[in-house]
Amino acid sequence: MAQFPERLICPTCGFTDNPVQARFCGQCASGLPTVCGDCGAVNPAGFRFCGQCATLLDAHPLPLTTRRIVTVLFADVCNYTALTARLGAERMYALLDPCLRRLAETVRRFEGTVDKFTGDGLMAVFGMPVALEQHAIQAAYAALAMFDELALFNADIASSDQVEFQLRIGLASGEVVAGRLGSDRFSDMTVIGDVVNLAARLQQISDPNTIYLHYLTAQTISSLFEVTAPQPVLLKGYLEPVNVSVLMGKREQPGLVRGLAGRRTPLVGREKELRHLLDSTLLLKGGMGGVIWLVGEPGVGKSRLTSEMLSVLRKRNIKILEGECASATRFVPYSAFLGMIRDMCGILPADSRTVVREKISVMAARSSVSAVLDLVPYLEYLLSIDLVDENLLERVHHLDPAQLKRQVFLTLREIILVDTRHQPVLLVLDDLQWIDEVSTEFILYLADALDSTPFLLYLVARSETTPLLQKLITAVLAKAEQRGVYLKLDRLADADLSEMAQSLLPNASTTMIEHLAAQAEGVPFYLEELARHALEVGIDLQAQADDDLRSHSVPLSLQALMRARYDRLPDSLAITLGRAAVIGRHFGHKLLQSLDSSPELDVKLEQLRERGFICPYRNQSHEWTFVHKLTQETVYASMLAAQRSVIHGNVGLALEQLAGERIDEQVDTLAFHFARSNQVAKAIHYTLRAAERAAGRFANDEALRLYSEAENLLADLPDFQPQRTTLYHGRGDVLALTGRYDEARAAYQLALSVTHAAGTPTGLLASTILRHLAMTYEKQGQYDQAMHYLAQARTALADGPPLDHARIDADAGWIAFLQGDLEQAERLLQAALTVAQLEQHPSLQATAANRLAGISWQHGQLQKAGILVAQSLRMSLRLNDQLAVAKALNNLGVIAYDQSDWVAAEDYYTQSMNTYIKNGDINGQIRTALNAANAMLMRGHLDGALRSLHTTYTLARQVGDKLHMALSRTHQGRISFFVGDLERARHYLLEAELVFRAVQGLHVKRSDVAELLGRIAFKSNKHCLAALLARKAERFAQGNDMLAVFRARRLHTLITSAGGDFATADRLLAELNNGMQIDDMYEKAVLKLVEAQHARYQDKEAEARGCQKEAEKLFRQVTVPRVLQKMV
């Protein structure tokens, strides 16, 4: 029967208390003998098979292949060939063997590992297989000690052989892949990576008894060692020069070795900041709101300070809401708020869909606006719950992305602020450096409530902000005005860190405490990690001298420190932690259990908690989180890409299974995981769904990124034609929405080419793509092209659904309206409205009615236009469609303007503009800004009008909207004319004319330009040119715009009278007064000015004074400023 030893004796140091399962000596870290599992024989370290029975000795699993941060050392004996030729091979071997043994022992002494002997030298790795935080420093110490050891060796052999060995050494630090290479019968642990080649090349070019360093290694150790300034050197195999330094020796006065981020520390040295934060919350008592921005570098104590503040506030009558962002979800719309919403509703992962709906309904019922605005469909949509109630479904289904986004914003704001009627509310949002675009927009929207609500925004982010975050900081503080606080946490003083270190290590010596405090450099997170590390590796806490601590100096790279802690874990814990890291910073027990079904999972999680890697998430027993985000990121980065890919796929499959009927809630997460796995089909499916969701939430950048990710996934795959169509179609819609029309058209054409290649060039899908393609041309005034593609869309649709034919009619009617063909426009839009009514499609009804109102307005039928606007408004309100409401408000402004009610018009435009801005509708902003400028002009607010016109032109130019570019220039020309700057007016108007010419079918708009240029010509005594322009203006307007015809004939009358043809002028005036029904009081007043001038030309002063008084009376009635009370 086999006899097994109870303990193993270390062959190096003689330590006798090593467990049989140990692989390295607990005293000196040397390799231990291996016990054969079959016969019990003790085999020397390195044996792969038992020397007694030939059994494979590798009873433990092979070490994990992983990424490591290491320093590689190459050492080579100089002049090896010449020495061998002189001494002979046998004598050279006799000398080299003990030399290399002593060098190898020096490597081991500084915790390095000899990877291989190279004949005349060796390769050593610091940081593998035993992880070292200070791998670069340890390697540098070892390199210098090798020279000392070689000097002693040379002294030993000097008398006998008269030989003096010299060394060349190269050092380089960086990431490698560490693992076992070879077969079952012969394999070795080794490292692979560019850093190995780099260290070898540095050794080859170094001078005798010299140590060459890569400049990154030199930077890392420069506080403890003297190194030369880096010099560029061209190395063999490298295309670009490499910066190289020389290690000269240890510093006589070592500098400060900067420590690294670690775990959370006790709150010390933050009393002033805590008081400041608590004082800033006092405004809530007065019913006012505000904002607090807390920023600082990673590990400086933001989370701890926040926790202390919240612990105080929880004792007061303050409702506290908490949300946070994560790097994995930084492209997920509303990611900052989704977890908070689930917490507010009390939704648990195990809840069925029915229970979730009930909880959402209960939450929504608490809202004061629940009677007029049903929050349920938008909460369910936000949380990806399928809508089954048809009434709720209709409210969401018919909304375009901008409208839906507006409704979601309203819903979120209501549930967050619902309690402010009874108590102050504090909203805490953490890790905003990972914030998504839509969450940024919503925070700005939410900040509008700060003026009149006891609501405090508490926002936390790292100090290294992105442009998006910096813009958010500036904007939110501007909204808060005097109630905004920006607090940046600085590093702590050494005394504070020493106090922390003393509380963490009460048994440590003063030297040890001061050493850790100095190493931490004011960052509490660094200090905690260093203290933990000191305990884990067994550093002497009673050390009395710096020399006792120097070889255990902490790493200068946070990644190296984190990886070192991870690398030291037993394989079973490392595997579990790696799986958790792939899931994300927060991970559920049930999901992790799907990946690790071992009964010891709970034990392993508890061990990882005890080691400081993870902790319960918000005190929930079934949810876990990494203690720090950087820990999760470091563990994730240490794994091989192939390992991560497999786990990502397994996470995705597990999520699918666990989600069940609530899988829509997990679309973004599933896309994230499958896109990083080798399960391409699922990756494509979920990535496209995630892109569609992002587009539906108006998160345009996220949507485009996801579409690009899907395109990369599809790049080398011949199939998946429907998915390609979805990709290009969806991308086109997002690009069109953001005004990138050329790119949108390219995407739509790709979608069409895929449908043609798949043999389906017709049908509803092709028709929809063609219709969307057509409208990109409409936005840029290329109406013939737009109608061309609409015709193709109708052909492709063939006998398709009437509702889709009606959509084509609505778009074609709109284009006809823009081209001035009002009869055709009315016919098409009326047909679309009829079908929409029959099909009970309220969104299309609202669109058609709104566009028909424009036709009635163009005909001067203001009452009919008002009825149609009211019809559109009613349907929009029923759908809670804020964008449609904004369009109606804009149209009400137009009608009020034509009724000379400038105050009401400007008020309508302001309401409309605010809504468009909050919803991000660029085209709506352009139209409303232009109309608002007209109202401001009529009220005499010239500066405001010019600013509004500048906004119109800038936005229109940004999206290539030539129509509104030209219209803004037209109105800028009108203002310049009235203030007497005729040259500038002419410049603006000629620019507008050039743009109008490039846009098809805009003769009606050109009428205004021609009429204004005619006035300028008349004012400049160029009557023939003025007459020509007046006729041109009337020709452009004829049959389409009665007001434009009126203006043109009025100018023609003035020119005719000035030329002495009074009889013709009398006839024209009679036609203007009696034959044209114009309701615009301002235009009638200007006509009276023309009559007065006509009387003066005939020397009828009394009649002229009478007409002048009538004009002034009309001007007073409509409160027109004096600057506008003139014809020329």
Q: Which CATH number belongs to the domain containing residue 626 in this structure?
A: 1.10.10.10
Q: Which of 39-43, 65-69, 268-272, 890-894 has the lowest mean pLDDT?
A: 39-43
CA atoms within 13 A on the CB side of 293: 27
| 407: in domain | yes
- DSSP β-bridge partners for residue 291: 457, 484
What is the average per-residue pLDDT within 530-542?
A: 66
| 360: in domain | yes
713 and 577 belong to one structural domain: no
What is the average per-residue pLDDT within 604-625?
A: 84
Between CA 87 and CA 70 the distance in angstroms is 37
Looking at residue 503, its amino acid is: S
| 31: in domain | yes
Q: Which of 31-35, 113-117, 677-681 has the lowest mean pLDDT?
A: 31-35
> Quick one: pLDDT band at residue 54, thresholds 50, 70, 90?
low
1030 and 1111 belong to one structural domain: yes
632 and 693 belong to one structural domain: no
Q: Is the pTM of this model over 0.85?
A: no
SS3 (DSSP) at 553: coil
Q: What is the pLDDT of residue 1101?
A: 92
What is the average per-residue pLDDT within 467-482?
A: 84
336 and 449 belong to one structural domain: yes
Looking at mean pLDDT, say which of 280-284, 450-454, 669-673 comes out highest.
Answer: 669-673
96 and 21 belong to one structural domain: no
Q: What is the pLDDT of residue 328?
A: 42
What is the average per-residue pLDDT within 296-310?
A: 86
1071: DSSP letter? I
Q: What is the pLDDT of residue 256?
A: 41
| 875: in domain | no
Residue 132: pLDDT above 60? yes
Residue 553: pLDDT above 60? no
Q: What is the pLDDT of residue 558?
A: 55
208 and 356 belong to one structural domain: no
> Quick one: pLDDT band at residue 410, thresholds 50, 70, 90?
confident
Q: Which of 126-130, 278-282, 634-638, 763-767 has the lowest mean pLDDT?
A: 126-130
407 and 377 belong to one structural domain: yes
Q: Which of 64-78, 239-253, 460-474, 980-994 has the lowest mean pLDDT?
A: 460-474
40 and 78 belong to one structural domain: no
Nearest to 65 by CA among 187, 164, 160: 187
Q: What is the pLDDT of residue 552?
A: 45
| pLDDT, tens digit, 9 for 90 and up, residues 680-709 | 999 999 999 999 988 877 678 889 999 999
186 and 200 belong to one structural domain: yes
Residue 648: pLDDT above 80? yes
What is the average per-residue pLDDT within 199-218?
A: 93
Residue 381: pLDDT above 60? yes
User: Which residue reads 């005890």 in tokens?
Assistant: 610
303 and 421 belong to one structural domain: yes
Q: What is the pLDDT of residue 672?
A: 93
Between CA 488 and CA 470 the distance in angstroms is 13
- Report the CATH number at residue 419: 3.40.50.300
| pLDDT, tens digit, 9 for 90 and up, residues 774-809 | 999 988 778 899 999 999 999 999 888 999 999 999
Q: What is the pLDDT of residue 284?
A: 78
What is the average per-residue pLDDT within 417-425?
A: 86
| Number of domain units in the chain | 7
Q: Which of 831-840, 1009-1018, 1117-1126 has the lowest mean pLDDT?
A: 1117-1126
| 483: in domain | yes
Decide if 512 contacts 482 (C-beta within 8 A).
no
Q: What is the pLDDT of residue 298?
A: 73
- Reported in sequence order, the residue ranges of 409-512 that DSSP labels E, i.e. its strands, are 425-430, 455-462, 484-488
Instruction: Tell me the pLDDT of the chain averaged across its residues.
Output: 83
Residue 773: pLDDT above 90? yes
Percent of the chain having pLDDT more than 90?
Answer: 35
Decide if 988 contacts 970 (C-beta within 8 A).
yes
Q: What is the pLDDT of residue 23?
A: 65
Find the helix or strand (DSSP H, E) in which 478 lies: helix 467-480
Residue 472 or residue 223, greater confidence = 472
- DSSP β-bridge partners for residue 426: 320, 456
727 and 818 belong to one structural domain: yes
What is the average per-residue pLDDT within 608-613?
A: 80
Residue 454: pLDDT above 80? yes
- Reported in sequence order, the residue ranges of 297-349 that DSSP labels E, i.e. its strands, are 319-324
Q: What is the pLDDT of residue 28?
A: 59
1074: DSSP letter? I
What is the average per-residue pLDDT within 358-387?
A: 68
- Report the CATH number at residue 187: 3.30.70.1230
- Sequence length of the chain is 1128
The number of beta carbons lying within 10 Å of the beta carbon of residue 10 is 22
Q: What is the pLDDT of residue 551?
A: 44
Task: Provide CB contacts within 8 A for 460, sequence distance 6+.
Answer: 294, 295, 302, 303, 306, 428, 429, 430, 431, 432
Residue 905 or residue 23, greater confidence = 905
User: Which residue reads 């963490």 in tokens?
Assistant: 504
433, 722, 751, 762, 797 from 765: Cα distances, Å: 40, 10, 10, 8, 8
| 522: in domain | yes
Q: What is the pLDDT of residue 464?
A: 57
| 887: in domain | no
Q: What is the pLDDT of residue 557?
A: 45
Residue 974: pLDDT above 50? yes
Between CA 127 and CA 394 the distance in angstroms is 62
Pseudo-torsion of CA 496, 502, 505, 508, nearest 10°? Answer: 120
Q: Which of 89-98, 150-159, 877-886 has the lowest mean pLDDT?
A: 877-886
Between CA 523 and CA 300 the distance in angstroms is 5
The number of beta carbons lying within 10 Å of the beta carbon of residue 808 is 22
Question: How deeply is 380 buried, as exposed, middle or buried, from its count of CB atoms within 10 A (0-12, 13-18, 19+)?
Answer: buried
Which of the listed residues 223, 250, 277 is the one where a domain comes to its end? 250
Residue 146: pLDDT above 70? yes
Between CA 346 and CA 914 the distance in angstroms is 34
Residue 983 or residue 352, greater confidence = 983
Nearest to 75 by CA among 117, 37, 105, 111: 117
SS3 (DSSP) at 294: strand
Residue 58: pLDDT above 60? no
Which of the listed residues 587, 622, 639 is the one where a domain comes to its end? 639
Residue 417: pLDDT above 60? yes
Q: What is the pLDDT of residue 349?
A: 59
- Report the CATH number at residue 941: 1.25.40.10
The two tokens of residue 792 are: 């193709």
Q: What is the pLDDT of residue 900?
A: 80
What is the average per-residue pLDDT within 606-612?
A: 82
User: Which residue reads 């108590």 in tokens?
Assistant: 423
| pLDDT, tens digit, 9 for 90 and up, residues 69-96 | 899 999 999 988 888 888 888 888 888 8
Which of the listed residues 60, 82, 110 is the one where a domain comes to its end? 60
| CB contact burial 1051-1090 (16+ within 10 A = b; e otherwise) | bbbbbbbbeeeeeebbebbeebeeeeebebbbbbbbbbbb
192 and 333 belong to one structural domain: no
Residue 406: pLDDT above 90? no
Domain ranges, residue 741: 682-860
The two tokens of residue 269 are: 């040295």
Q: What is the pLDDT of residue 883?
A: 77
| 807: in domain | yes
Q: What is the pLDDT of residue 255?
A: 58
Summarize the chain as % helix, strand, coil (round to 5).
Answer: 60, 10, 30
Q: For the packed helices 1081-1097 and 1042-1058, what is the interaxial angle rounded to 10 degrees?
A: 10
